Homo-oligomer: A and B are copies of this chain.
Amino acid sequence: GAPDKESVGRLSMSFGDRVATTSQPLVRRLLRLMEEKRTNLCVAADLGTARDVLQLADKVGPHICLLKTHVDSISDFTAEFPKQLTELAERHNFLICEDRKYGDIGSTSADQYSSGLFSVSSWAHLVTVHALPGDGQLTALSDRAAGAERGALLVAEMSSKGCLVQPAYTAAVVKMAEAHPYFACGFIAQSSVSSDPRFLVLTPGVSLVSTADGHGQQYSSPERAVGERGADVVIVGRGVTRAEDPAAAAREYAQRAFSAYLQRLK
Q: Within 8 Å CB of A107, what residues of B?
A: 213, 215, 217
Contact A133 B106 (CB under 8 A): no
> Contact between B164 and A105 (Cβ–Cβ < 8 Å)?
no
A73 part of interface (Cβ distance < 8 Å): yes
Q: Find out whether the CB atom of B101 lies under 8 angstroms from the CB atom of A103.
A: yes
Asked whether, in the complex, the Cβ of B136 is within 8 Å of the Cβ of A215, the reply is yes
Measured in the bound complex, the distance between the Cα atoms of B119 and A76 in whole Å is 11
Do A116 and B164 form a contact, CB below 8 Å, given A48-B111, A101-B104, A215-B107?
Answer: no
Q: A75 and B159: CB pair below 8 A? A: no
A72:B118 contact, CB within 8 angstroms: yes
Interface size on A, residues (CB 8 A): 52
Contacts of A213 in B (CB 8 A): 106-107
Given A101-B103, A215-B140, A132-B74 contact (CB < 8 Å): no
16 A-B pairs besides A117-B117, A132-B132, A139-B215 with CB distance below 8 A are A48-B115, A70-B108, A76-B117, A99-B108, A103-B130, A105-B158, A106-B217, A133-B163, A134-B162, A134-B163, A136-B161, A136-B216, A136-B217, A140-B215, A164-B172, A166-B169
